[in-house]
Chain A
Amino acid sequence: MLTKKQAMLFFMLGTFLFSIIFIGLTYDTVTRGIPKHTHEENMTDAVVRGRTLWDQHNCMGCHTIMGEGAYYAPELTKVYERRGPGYIKAVLMSKTPWAPRGRKMVAYGFSEEEADDLVAFLKWIGEADLNGFPPKPTFKPQSKD
């Protein structure tokens, strides 16, 4: 039967081994994986400024991006492809709450430059290789827009 000492060894060795593997994989992901998958060379100053605005206003508190965030407002990873820059800028610069189907977005009233930066960020993230996310719908989209 298992002794307490053996149980402790199982805990110690398992934790050590899997931590080492995890750190190794993290090293690879951080140095090689993410730069390649996100096309870091295309990350302009505008993209970084856009990401800062994204963070400052907690956009993830309603939307998801790369599938992460809250589930109150649309997924935005592919919003650049779906709506185009004009529509996105109109939403971002609106002085009244944007609410095309009843659900209100905070009226941020961004300036033209800020809206451009956020659009640059959304365009950049839309081009990232996310291992197939978001998936294409199985059936033909029947949406009006």
Chain B
Amino acid sequence: MRYKSQKVAYWFFALSMLLIILQLTYGFIMAFAHMGYDGLHEIIPFNTAIAVHKNLLVVWILSGFMGAAYYIIPDEAETELCCPKLAYLQLIALAVVGVIAIVGFHFEWWEGRKFLEIPRELDYLVVVDVLLFLFIILATLWKGKKRTTTALVLSGGLVGAALLYLPGMIWFDNHAYDSFFRWWVVHLWVEGVWELIMGGILAYLLIRLTGVDREVIEKWLYVIVGLTFLSGILGTGHHYYYTGTPSYWLTIGGIFSALEPLAFLGMALFAMVMYRKGEKKHPNKLALMWTLGSAILAFVGAGMLGLAHTLPQVNLWTHGTLVTAMHGHMAFWGAYGMLVFAFITYVMPNLTGRKRYFTKTGEYAFWIANIGMILMTSAFAAAGVQQVALERIAGFDFMEVANELWYHFFVLIIAASIFSTGVLMFIWEFYKYGTPSDSALQAQEEFQPISE
């Protein structure tokens, strides 16, 4: 840590950790309900649980991104964060809006729109909070000595994410319009501007962890974010196959979404090649594991598992089934969840001055969480394929099929328990680090020359 104001990042990560625990809890509620045990139906019906589960995901990842930005931007711009007090205010506002939203969902205070359930009144507060966040980031960049590509790509992603939230706030009487513009937010976030944020964070981590020349890393960063938009913008079309839209989206969405894995393949190759090229070895091996793991699982989960059902000929049958849940879980975990974990792992020794670079618990957390997620994805895949075969192809009634699927959810619950164990171990490690300390300010990062 070079600048005192970077400490604020820690509290965003702490918020992320708290929210993950809640997200996992609501995930279990849903998995049990799918299995037939819906004992909480009266207080937390399924539609409440899913709204909480999905919005917590979005909020904890955004909180992680914000924390990362508050750490990266001062480092890249070589200056203290502008107005650190405002950053703490922004954090508190984010937490308060989040809590109100989650509580509100239990009283049907929401909009029935997948991923964007936060009610309109709170949307305005979200906008104010994000504007405050962007003001702090951009003002820091403005007064800083340097404007690096990494900082610009990261900031560009953050500004884009804020702008793209707006189309989701328009009310349409026609349901098809609502669906159309909802994907402007959700798709152009996760397969567009969030990948810019991902690319920026990944580039920063690779510069620090591998010691490869910044110019090389940033050149490839441009290529990757270029590929992201080349495929991702028109790839939005894969949400417009069957939602009351013209049929040209079948062709356009099919072609461009088939190209989307290229961007994620680029990310994975980027990380692997830079790691191999590295002439220095950073002692924070766990951070490197999470970084490479994130790039690889993003390619598998977001890239390949997305490709598996993105072509219109396949999607006609799998659209609106558990196959989507299969892709969604690993995609979010690989691309965004693990990336936030990678950043936290990298940054904790720097923030606290405690060089706990490699612990057994930390290493097991990585493996257990990832094995758990791969098993969860497999359980969803089995359930999804069976659902498609019985309901869509053989023509059985929805609930007749749903009752046949219980054993996949039994497997899912076991897998999710493994995953949660890993995540809880990670959170335990986070807790063990303690809070940031000013004594970490003088500490230099240690690079070790490659000797193996």
Contacts and interface: CB of A to CB of B under 8 A. Distances in A.
A141 B108 contact: no
24 contacts: A3-B219, A7-B223, A10-B223, A10-B226, A22-B236, A29-B180, A38-B175, A43-B174, A55-B112, A58-B111, A58-B117, A61-B50, A66-B176, A66-B320, A70-B46, A71-B320, A72-B33, A101-B403, A106-B41, A106-B47, A132-B316, A133-B316, A139-B393, A142-B396
A45 B59 CA distance: 36
Interface residues on A, range: 35 or more
Contacts of A86: none
Contacts of A68: 114, 179, 243, 320
B222 A4 contact: yes
A144 B176 contact: no
* Shortest Cβ-Cβ A-B pairs, 6 listed: A61-B47, A137-B395, A67-B320, A133-B242, A141-B395, A58-B112
Contacts of B113: 55, 60
Given A14-B229, A61-B46, A143 B397 contact: yes
Contact of B244 (A38, A57, A64): A38
Q: Please classify the interface of chain B as helix (H, G, I), strand (E, B), loop, or mixed, using the class held by over half of its residues.
A: helix
Contacts of A19: 229, 233
Contacts of A139: 393-395
B452 interface: no
B229 A75 contact: no
Contacts of B324: 71
Interface string B210-253: 00000100111011011001100110100011111111111010
Interface string A29-68: 1101111011010010000100100111111111011111
Given A71-B322, A101-B399, A142 B394 contact: yes
Interface in B78-119: 108, 110-114, 117
Interface residues of B, number: 73
A49 to B, nearest CB: 10
A34 B242 contact: no
B121 interface: no
A7 B249 CA distance: 29
B234 A4 contact: no
Nearest to B192: A15
A11 B46 contact: no
A74 B222 contact: no
B78 to A, nearest CB: 20
A73 B117 CA distance: 18
Contacts of B396: 141-143
Contacts of B222: 4, 7-8, 10-11
B321 to A, nearest CB: 6
B434 interface: no
Contacts of B247: 131
Nearest to A71: B322
Interface string B23-46: 000000010011010100100011
Interface in B345-395: 387, 392-395
Contact of A62 (B47, B108, B219): B47
Interface of B: 30, 33-34, 36, 38, 41, 45-48, 50-51, 108, 110-114, 117, 149, 173-180, 215, 218-220, 222-223, 225-226, 229-230, 233-234, 236, 240-250, 252, 316-317, 319-322, 324-325, 387, 392-400, 402-403
A38 B229 contact: no
B242 A130 contact: yes
Nearest to A72: B46
B377 to A, nearest CB: 15
B229 A18 contact: yes
Given A11-B225, A38-B244, A71-B325, A18 B234 contact: yes
A81 interface: no
Contact of A29 (B34, B242, B246, B394): B246
Interface in A73-117: 73-75, 97, 100-104, 106
A15 to B, nearest CB: 4
A37 B173 contact: no
B229 A25 contact: no
Given A2-B223, A4-B218, A18-B230, 14 more contacts: A3-B219, A7-B222, A29-B180, A37-B245, A43-B174, A48-B173, A55-B113, A57-B47, A58-B51, A104-B41, A131-B245, A131-B247, A137-B392, A144-B397
B112 A54 contact: yes
B51 A30 contact: no
Contact of A22 (B46, B234, B322, B395): B234
A135 B317 contact: yes
Contact of B243 (A62, A66, A134): A66
B179 A106 contact: no
B243 A72 contact: no
A125 to B, nearest CB: 6
B200 to A, nearest CB: 13
A70 B47 contact: yes
Nearest to B109: A56
Nearest to B230: A14
Nearest to B229: A15
Contacts of B177: 30, 34
A129 B51 CA distance: 29
Given A18-B230, A71-B325, A130-B243, A138 B393 contact: yes
